[in-house]
Amino acid sequence: MSRGAARDFVVEPQEYHLRLDDHAWKVRHSGAILSFLDEQRLLGMEKGRPPYGVTLWPSAIALAHDLAARATMLRGRRVLELGAGTGLPGIVAATFGAHVAQTDYNEQALELCRLNGAANGCSAIEYRVADWAAWSDTTSYDLVLGADVLYAERQHPHLRRIFESNLAPGGSVLLADPFRSASIRMLERLESDGWNIALSKWSVGEDVAPRPIGVFELSAPTRD
């Protein structure tokens, strides 16, 4: 879908509410993917399918939970979110004191991301339209975030270049993913090239058939 077509899509007024301990967040979205069947229905739509970025995906929910569990480590950290979509993970990071830059290729998704940030009182988040294939950011970040961003193998070289060029020494990449085959192949290649990868598992969605989500923490190889 082109950027022009994406701007013509109207987001339905749905909200997702997340409450963890003493904190609460809400994000608007065009629909929440809470099961594998939800995903298949969305992908099978021939007409009227919203841009992927304005849909709330389970990986974003899992990553938000994982970040909240790291709350004490976030204050003052520089955080980059790739493919931010509705913005939930970056909003959680900003709530706990991180300096967050949220990026997305889709302009409508980024505008929704901006609205969600404002609705949650995150006035200091930076928003940028960005193309991974034409990446120009030279900033070093302590944490790079991505929720379900590895599904397209053609993007893997661009993402790897971003990880290698924008991750500060001692920093981490946090990638949430529903164990897609393409994603696992990229992670295996990174691991074989010396990246250290740790895994946390989360379940998101319906009680009867929750969606398993992995949050993979990547650390770059140590250079001599």
* Percent of the chain clearing pLDDT 70 (strictly above): 92
Query: How confident is residue 109, by pLDDT bands cut at 50, 70 and 90?
Result: very high
Averaged pLDDT for residues 119-131: 95
- Residue 33: the pLDDT is 87
Q: How far apart are CA 65 and CA 214, in angstroms?
A: 12
**Beta-bridge mates of residue 204:** 211
Higher pLDDT, 145 or 10: 145
The residue assigned the tokens 């379900």 is: 148
> Encoding tokens for residue 146?
């991505």
User: What is the mean predicted confidence (pLDDT) over 185-201?
Assistant: 98
What gap in Å lies between CA 20 and CA 113, rounded to an integer? Answer: 20
Count Cβ atoms within 10 A of the Cβ of residue 172 and give its class: 0-12 exposed, 13-18 middle, 19 or more buried. buried
For residue 129, report the phi and psi dihedrals to the nearest 5 degrees.
-70, 130
Q: At 150, list the tokens.
A: 């590895």
What pLDDT is recorded for position 57?
94
C-beta atoms surrounding 132 within 10 Å: 18
What rounded mean pLDDT belongs to the chain? Answer: 91
Task: Walk across the sheet containing 211-219 and list its strands.
Answer: 126-129, 99-104, 78-82, 141-147, 167-177, 211-219, 196-204
Asked whether 217 and 172 are in contact (CB, 8 A), the reply is yes
Q: How many CB atoms lie within 10 A of CB 110?
A: 22
Q: pLDDT by residue (tens digit) across 5-25?
A: 333 344 456 999 999 889 999
**Tokens, residue 132:** 């991974």
Residue 152 has pLDDT above 70, yes or no: yes
**Predicted local distance difference test score (pLDDT) of residue 187:** 98
Which CATH entry fits the domain spanning 3-219: 3.40.720.10, 3.40.50.150, 3.30.1330.100, 3.30.1340.30?
3.40.50.150
| pLDDT digit string, tens, across residues 31-90 | 888 888 888 888 888 777 788 889 999 999 999 999 999 999 999 999 999 999 999 999
Partners of residue 177 on adjacent β-strands: 214
Query: Comparing C-alpha atoms, which of 77, 112, 88 is closest to residue 24?
Result: 88
